[in-house]
Amino acid sequence: MPTRKHSSRVNLIFLSLIIALVFFASQLILIQIFRFSYLAGLAQKQHSHTIALEPKRGTIYDRNLHPLALNVPVDSLYAKPRAMTQQQKYEAIERLAGILNVSRDFLKERLDRPKYFVWIKRKLSTPEVEKIKSFKINGLDFIQESKRYYPNQFLAAHLLGFAGTDNQGLEGLELWYDQYLKGEYGFSQILRDARQSELLIEKNFLPPRDGFNFVLTIDETIQYIAERALEKACEKHHAKSATIIVMDPKTGEILALANRPTYDLMRGSAAPPEDRLNRGVVSVYEPGSVFKIVTAAAALEEDLAREEDRFFCENGKYKVGNHILRDHHPHGILTFTQVFEQSSNIGVAKIAKRLGPRRVYEYARRFRFGTSTGLNLPGELGGNLKPPSMWSATSMAAIPMGQEVTVTALQLVCATAAVANDGLYMKPFVVKYIKDNQDEIIKEFEPVMVSEVISPQTAKRLKAILRGVVENGTGKLARIPGMTVAGKTGTAQKVVGGTYSHSKFYATFLGFAPVEDPRLAVVVVLDEPYPSYFGGTVAAPVFKEVVEDALKYLATSIAFKDKKR
């Protein structure tokens, strides 16, 4: 009997050992085969720490290599919650909340995470960093990153755009060329001991590739001149918004582009969407009488009118279909030249009648209305130009004088530049070249001639007519002493609720100077100026100030460069 009991116990113990052996063997197989990758990765995380190395975002310069956007080094704060005691966490929460202007709940949630690395706040100011360092709280540390900095804050805001906290482009050129500007991240893998202290031994290292640098066509000084004049005009005439664009008519280079309202690039994300709108490129409007340059160019090019031809302007009232067309001032007989000098709607309607719908549409398309210009900026619109098949009974009078057609300020300045450039339409551009940190050019943008919209002979005749607008007609406030100036005024009723308003207007002036050798082509647009609202009254003086000051600056700059040589 005792022998049988002893044998049963031995068998039971042996069976238990077999079961235990099978269990541990299965667990070992599970760990070694099925969970190997996971556990190895966990061990790797515990004994090494990978730090992303941020690239330096490329600098954006003006044409004279003055920085408009650059990166500056800043410190970012992080914590190591698993290396902190509860007392250290409490101290960190109490001290950091006020300095960083964040809630205690936010800090507590971060520090309660079972991690070895959590961001607390990135890209701090120097006073914030110095204050936090003075506390000497264990578990808090800094990583040096970089922050986008705009030295002129508001200057060329709509052109440059801005980058966010992670140095990612969010608006303007910063967004459009983000792939070139942002660079590529690198990394550094640091070994740690059992206490999670860094051993300052790098296991792997890949350096970041910094972003490329951009050199723009923009001239910082001309940009400032343009913005200053536009700001004064908006305040003086209580304009809702405004745009100015300055272009080199011979190359298509944009020398300045500004809008009002504007915003501080250092606080770009906080600015209202309306303030960030690049109106010169993404907003369309009915241009009014400045569009008459298309009719003038077409009539001269097609030899359907000459400067001395006479047109009866019906003493200010002319019936077109069921509509009465009016001039702001009644006129009797005007020559072709005087029709445009005095901006007679009736005279232009009669000239357009000689052309017919097909030719008016054809020349508007030649000047690239109804299509985008191809400027390298996001969101450009092409406006609306209806084909003749969609014209109404009044379109033949409305479109030639800038109604029933929508344009951008950019399209207008390009069309003006084409006239100034002897009929050659140049593609507008804002980037001259892209280079790396060794000054090697990565990509270069050359002037591109799109087409010849009118012959040099026609352009010469049209220049003389537009010069007369400034010297004898509605554009007298654009005159610059000692210089020949050509231009065209425009005052357009805004469409409000589907009808033309009698109290809200767009005031526009476009022109170029000097007439003999044009250096600058400019368009100025003010939205809802009051009480005065005529293009010749509110927009022409802005043109005068900008062109006069810019040409003086350019002359001084050239003289200075020649002297250095």
**Cis bond leading into 481, ω under 30°?**
no
Task: Count how many Cα atoms sit within 13 Å of the Cα of residue 183 in the half-sphere of its side chain.
Answer: 24
Contacts of 2 (CB under 8 A, 6+ apart): none
Helix extents (H) in 320-422: 336-341, 345-366, 395-398, 409-420
The CA-atom distances, in angstroms, between 241 and each of 110, 226, 265, 502 are 44, 15, 19, 18
Strands 310-312 and 333-335: antiparallel
Select from 531, 534, 535 the least CA-distant residue to 508: 535
Amino acid at site 56: K
Distance of CA 219 to the CA centre of its chain: 16
Local structure of residue 41 (DSSP, 8 states): H
Task: Tell me if residue 289 is catalytic.
Answer: yes
Selecting among 146, 283, 289, 395, the annotated active-site residue is 289
Q: Is 400 exposed, middle or buried (0-12, 13-18, 19+ CB in 10 A)?
A: buried
DSSP letters along 191-253, please?
EE-TT--EEEEEEEEE--BPPPEEEES--HHHHHHHHHHHHHHHHHHT-SEEEEEEE-TTT-B
Look at strands 213-216 and 60-61 and give their pairing: parallel
Q: Using the 8-state DSSP alphabet, how is residue 399 labeled? A: G
Q: Would you tell me the crossing angle of helices 409-420 and 456-472 to the nearest 10 degrees?
A: 110
Catalytically annotated residues = 289
